[in-house]
Amino acid sequence: MKHVGIINKIIPFSAVDGPGCRTAVFFQGCNFNCQYCHNPETISLCKLCGNCVSHCPTGAIYIKEQKVVYEKEKCVECDACLKACPYNSSPKTTVYTPGKLVETIAVNIPFIRGVTFSGGECTLQREFLEEVIPLLSERGLNVLLDSNGTFSFEQILPILEQIEGVMLDIKAFSLEDHIKVTENENRIVLTNAVELAEREKLKEVRTVIVPELFDTKKTVIQTAELLQNYNKQSEIQYKLIKYRPIGVRKEKAIYSTPDTPYMEELKEIVHSFGFKKVTIT
C-alpha cells in the first residue's frame, strides 16, 4: 500500500542540512510548539478554515471540493496566506506519493550526495518514510533525518538501518525547561539520543540558544556529558544555533540574540567534553 507524504517545501540544493550538498524535504506537521519556532507555518495541518483565501492577492489559493487548492505558478511568495492563518499552517503544501517525490529529487542527483528529511517533524509520517527511503537508496542517495526525537527509533529499526543517521534536536535537557520551550516532555528524546549514539547513528545534536527563555548553559553541559563516551566511538557534531527573531511569530519574537562571546563560551564547554566537531550558526 502506497502512503502519501504532505510536504511543505523542498529545497533542491542545501549546504546547511547535513554534510555536502543535499536536497532538503520539509514535512508538514509537528507535535512541538517551540516558543522560538522559525517555521511556525509547518506546525499544523490545514484545517480548511478558508481564512487564507481572501488574503491571497493573486488568486493562487482557493477552495474546491472541500480542499484547499494552491496554484504555485500564480504565487508571488508574499506569504500573506501564512500570516493570515490562525492555526500555524500553510495552504502551500503538496501531497506526494513515494515515487513522485523520488522523481522530483532525482533531477538533482548529479549535484547532491543525499537527502535530508526535516519538518515540521518527519517521523510523524513514518509510513511514508518507510516506502520512500528504499527508493532513494536505490538511486545511490544517503538519507538523514532531522528530528525532534519524540518517536522511538527502536520501533522503526528498518528505517534506521537504511539511513545514514539522525540529526537530533535537544531543545532543553531538564523536563521543566523542555516543557517551557516546546510544551512537551523530553524523556523519549534523551533515550533516543543514547540509543542512536550506541548504534552510531547519531550524526549531530543541535540546541537553539535562547538564554532568556531557559538555562541554555546547563542544557549544553548536560547534553555533552550524556554523550561524551559515545562521542569517542563516532564523532558526533554538536551544533549551537543562535536564536534569531527572523521568521518567529510576532508575539513570540521577544528574546535577544545571544552575543558571540557567550556562544564561544558554550563552544569551549562542549570541547571540554571531548567533542571535536562543534559549530556555531
Q: Within a 10 A sphere around the Cβ of 60, how many other Cβ atoms?
A: 21
pLDDT digits (tens, 9 = 90+) for 196-232: 999 999 999 999 999 999 999 999 999 999 999 997 7
Cβ–Cβ < 8 Å for 97, 104? no
Residue linked to cell 554523550: 227
How confident is the model over 25-51, as a mean pLDDT?
95
CATH no., domain 47-84: 3.30.70.20
**Which among 135, 101, 97 is positioned nearest to 3, based on CA atoms?**
97
**Which among 56, 52, 58, 30 is positioned nearest to 42, based on CA atoms?**
30
Joined together, the cell numbers standing for residue 208 give: 537553539
On average, the pLDDT of the chain sits at 95
Beta bridge partners of residue 48, listed in sequence order = none
Predicted confidence (pLDDT) at residue 1 exceeds the cutoff of 60: no
Amino acid letter for position 273: F
| 86/26 Cα distance (integer angstroms) | 21
Residue linked to cell 493573486: 58
* Domain extent listing, the chain: 5-41+93-280, 47-84
Residue linked to cell 540509543: 195
Joined together, the cell numbers standing for residue 124 give: 510523524
Determine the length of the chain: 281
Q: How confident is the model at residue 29 (pLDDT cuts 50, 70, 90)?
A: very high
CA distances to 141, 149, 239 from 18, in Å: 13, 17, 11
pLDDT of residue 120: 94
Task: Tell me if the pTM is above 0.85.
Answer: yes
5-41+93-280: CATH topology: TIM Barrel (3.20.20)
pLDDT digits (tens, 9 = 90+) for 112-149: 999 999 999 999 999 999 999 999 999 999 999 999 99
